[in-house]
């Protein structure tokens, strides 16, 4: 292969390649896959952006606040209904 003969080319290519992005389970922040932290939350492996978000999830579980957390998380993702538009008076 071409890269096998010139390993430095492969290194440079890798350096500038767009890194894969993930979305944090806790804060919804987009982050590089290389920064990923795995945490088990409710028996499921979740991907979070940092040890802070991992600590929050662990604390929520330890304190028995999972249901409140999930309700809040769910309601934050609900798109607000369109505002009611009242007809304006016409002269
Ligand atoms: Zn996060």
Q: How far is CA 18 from CA 15, 34, 89, in A?
A: 9, 12, 55
Span 3-16, mean pLDDT? Answer: 64
CA–centroid distance, 19 to ligand 1, in Å, is 18
Span 12-27, mean pLDDT? Answer: 80
Give yes or no for residue 71 having a pLDDT over 80. yes
Residue 76 vs residue 55, higher pLDDT: 55
Q: What is the pLDDT of residue 59?
A: 98
CA–centroid distance, 23 to ligand 1, in Å, is 8
Ion ligand 1: residues, CB within 5 A, are 24, 26-27, 29, 48-49, 53
Q: What is the pLDDT of residue 76?
A: 79
pTM, two decimals, is 0.65
CA gyration radius for the chain? Answer: 22
CA–centroid distance, 81 to ligand 1, in Å, is 27
CA–centroid distance, 76 to ligand 1, in Å, is 15
């Amino acid at each position: 292969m071409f890269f096998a003969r010139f390993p430095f080319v492969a290194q440079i290519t890798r350096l500038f390649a767009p890194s894969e992005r993930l979305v944090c389970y806790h804060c919804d922040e987009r982050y590089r896959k290389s920064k990923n932290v795995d945490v088990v939350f409710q028996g499921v492996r979740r991907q979070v952006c940092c040890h802070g978000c991992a600590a929050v999830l662990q604390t929520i579980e330890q304190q028995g606040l999972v249901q409140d957390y999930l309700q809040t998380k769910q309601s934050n993702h609900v798109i607000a209904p369109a505002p009611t538009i009242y007809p304006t008076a016409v002269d």
